[in-house]
């Protein structure tokens, strides 16, 4: 269902923004790096991301397309060269605007960053819905839309207030 998205992708920071509640504006995304690997087998998307640069948070899920069950989006590993890895994670959460409200996310190895469902629309378009793993309250809906040349896609994350929280462009590696 998501065959066009299979492969390895890296963020194009020049075309990526994040919503800043304090400024009430979109600002440059300070994630540092984001490398995504998408595989697919038997109707299941196997998704893994290396998120950030200090620390690098390795997360992922294996979710069946159009399945009504929520799938854990797990933090698999946190790699940091900082003397205080916990402080590095908190600093990273601040940089990526993940400390409060609907956008609040936690990074703890072995715990769910969120719970997800995948919805296939067509070959070029799909959605990932996300709820909070602790409260089960809605967090976000992400639209992934392949560009016509199939060399890049845009991931647009809409929060529960209807604000485009993130726009990240990914290019095929």
Cβ neighbours, 10 Å, residue 72: 16
Mean predicted lDDT score pLDDT of the chain: 94
What is the pTM for the complete model shown?
0.93
Going from the C-alpha of 167 to that of each of 76, 111, 114, 159, the distances in angstroms are 24, 25, 19, 12
Walk me through the domains of the chain, giving residue ranges and CATH numbers: 3-172 (2.40.128.20)
Q: Give every CB contact of residue 164 below 8 A, 6+ residues apart in sequence.
A: 19, 26, 156, 157, 158
Cβ neighbours, 10 Å, residue 162: 7
Distance from C-alpha of 168 to C-alpha of 173, rounded to nearest angstrom: 15
Q: C-alpha 76: how far from its chain's center?
A: 14
Q: C-alpha 84: how far from its chain's center?
A: 25
Per-residue confidence (pLDDT) for residue 85, from 0 to 100:
85
Residue 88, classed as helix, strand or coil, is: helix
Query: Tens digit of pLDDT for each residue in 116-146?
Result: 999 999 999 999 999 999 999 999 999 999 9
Residue 161, classed as helix, strand or coil, is: coil
Q: In the Cβ-directed half-sphere of 54, how many Cα atoms lie within 13 Å?
A: 7
Cβ neighbours, 10 Å, residue 109: 12
Is the pLDDT confidence value at 101 over 80? no
Is the pLDDT confidence value at 102 over 80? no
- Looking at residues 152-161, what average pLDDT do you find? 96
Per-residue confidence (pLDDT) for residue 1, from 0 to 100:
79
DSSP 96: T
The phi, psi pair for 94, rounded to 5°, reads: -65, -45
Please state, for a pLDDT cut of 90, what percent of the chain lies above it.
80
Per-residue confidence (pLDDT) for residue 64, from 0 to 100:
98
- Looking at residues 58-86, what average pLDDT do you find? 94
């Amino acid at each position: 269902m998501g065959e066009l998205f299979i492969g390895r992708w890296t963020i194009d920071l020049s075309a990526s923004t994040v919503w800043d509640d304090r400024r009430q504006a979109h600002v440059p995304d300070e994630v540092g790096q984001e490398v995504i690997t998408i595989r697919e087998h038997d109707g299941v998307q196997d998704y893994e991301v290396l998120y950030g640069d200090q620390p690098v948070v390795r997360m992922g899920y294996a979710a069946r397309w159009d399945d009504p069950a929520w799938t854990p989006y797990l933090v698999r590993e946190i790699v940091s060269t900082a003397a205080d890895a916990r402080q590095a994670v908190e600093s990273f959460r601040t940089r990526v605007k993940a400390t409060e409200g609907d956008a609040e996310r936690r990074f703890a190895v072995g715990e769910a960053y969120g719970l997800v469902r995948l919805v296939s629309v067509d070959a070029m378009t799909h959605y990932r819905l996300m709820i909070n793993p602790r409260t089960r309250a809605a967090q976000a809906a992400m639209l992934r839309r392949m560009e016509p040349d199939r060399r890049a896609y845009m991931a647009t994350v809409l929060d529960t207030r209807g604000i485009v929280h993130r726009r990240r462009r990914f290019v095929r590696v």
